[in-house]
A and B are shown apart, each in its own frame.
Chain A
Amino acid sequence: MIRALVLAASIVMTLSAQKLPRTVDGQPDLQGIWSNATITPLERPADLAGKQTFTAEEAAAYEKQVVERNNVDRRTGNAEADVATAYNQFWYDRGTKAVGTRRTSLIVDPPDGRIPALTPEAEKRVQDKRAWMEAHSTDSPEGRTLGERCILWVTAGPPMLPGPYNNNFQILQARDQVVILNEMIHNARIIPLDGTPHLAGTVRQWMGDSRGHWDGNTLVVDTTNFSDQYAFRGSDRNLHLTERFTRTSPDTLLYEFTVDDPTAFTKPWTAQIAVTRTKGSIFEYACHEGNYAMTDILAGARAEEKKAGK
Chain B
Amino acid sequence: MRTKLGMLIAGVSLLVSAAPAWAHHAFAAEFDSTKPVKLKGVVTKMEWINPHAWIHLDVKSEDGTVTNWMVEGGSPNTLLRNGFTKASLPVGTEIVVDGYQAKDATNKMNGRDITFPDGRKLFVGSAGQGSAPPDK
- The answer on a CB contact under 8 Å between A287 and B108 is no
Within 8 A of B (CB), among A69-128: 69-97
Q: Given A69-B19, A283-B81 in contact, is the A85-B128 Cβ separation under 8 Å?
A: no
Q: Is the interface of A mostly helix, strand, loop or mixed?
A: loop
Task: State the Cβ distance, B109 to closest chain A Cβ, in Å.
Answer: 10
Q: Which residues of A contact B88 (CB under 8 A)?
A: none
Residue A83 contacts which of B74, B112, B127 (CB distance < 8 angstroms)? B112
Assembled-state Cα–Cα distance A67/B50 (Å):
26
Residue B130 contacts which of A77, A93, A290 (CB distance < 8 angstroms)? A93
Task: State the Cβ distance, B71 to closest chain A Cβ, in Å.
Answer: 9
Q: Which residues of B contact A292 (CB under 8 A)?
A: 54, 70, 72, 108
- The answer on a CB contact under 8 Å between A76 and B133 is no
Q: Given A300-B104, A302-B104 in contact, is the A86-B112 Cβ separation under 8 Å?
A: yes
Report the interface size for chain B: residues with CB under 8 A from the other chain.
Answer: 68
Assembled-state Cα–Cα distance A91/B114 (Å):
12
Q: Which residues of A contact B24 (CB under 8 A)?
A: 147-148, 287, 293
- The answer on a CB contact under 8 Å between A89 and B54 is no
Residue on B nearest A282 in the bound complex, by CB = B77
- The answer on a CB contact under 8 Å between B30 and A285 is no
Within 8 A of B (CB), among A259-310: 276-281, 283-294, 296-297, 299-304
Interface centre among A73, A163, A166, A251 (most CB of B within 10 A): A166
Q: Given A82-B33, A137-B29 in contact, is the A35-B50 Cβ separation under 8 Å?
A: no
Instruction: Check: B134 CB closer than 8 A to any chain A CB.
Output: yes
Residue on B nearest A94 in the bound complex, by CB = B128
Interface centre among A166, A293, A297 (most CB of B within 10 A): A293
Interface centre among B77, B106, B111, B133 (most CB of A within 10 A): B77
Q: Which residues of A contact B125 (CB under 8 A)?
A: 90
Within 8 A of A (CB), among B20-61: 21-34, 36, 47, 49-52, 54
Q: Which residues of B contact A150 (CB under 8 A)?
A: 51
* Chain B positions 79 through 108: 1 when the CB is less than 8 Å from some CB of chain A, otherwise 0: 011100000000000000001101111101
Q: Which residues of A contact B (CB under 8 A)?
A: 32, 35, 37, 67, 69-97, 137-138, 144-145, 147-148, 150, 163-168, 183, 251, 276-281, 283-294, 296-297, 299-304
